[in-house]
Amino acid sequence: MRTVARCNDVNQALSIKMILDGNGIDSFIPDENVATVAPYLFATRSGVRVQVKEGDEMRARELIDDLT
């Protein structure tokens, strides 16, 4: 799995996941449970990660770049 985004909170990560999934890219938020229960752990640290399969990394990054 490749990390394609680091988000400030779980809601931002879920929004990116929804966009990726809607474009046929399976994505995963490995930090989802902890970020939901203890969001303060991610506010000042590495962020909530969004990950995809290695083969989908470039397309996922393109989609995420289009969001900004």
Secondary structure (DSSP) of the chain: -EEEEEESSHHHHHHHHHHHHHTT--EE-TTHHHHHH-THHHHSSS-EEEEE-GGGHHHHHHHHHHH-
pLDDT digits (tens, 9 = 90+) for 1-52: 999 999 988 999 999 999 999 999 999 999 888 878 877 766 657 789 999 9
The span from the CA of 56 to the CA of 8, in Å, is 23
Does pLDDT of 54 surpass 80?
Answer: yes
Domain that holds residue 53: 2-67
CA angle 16, 21, 2 (to 5 degrees): 70
Total domains present in the chain = 1
Write down the pLDDT at residue 32. 86
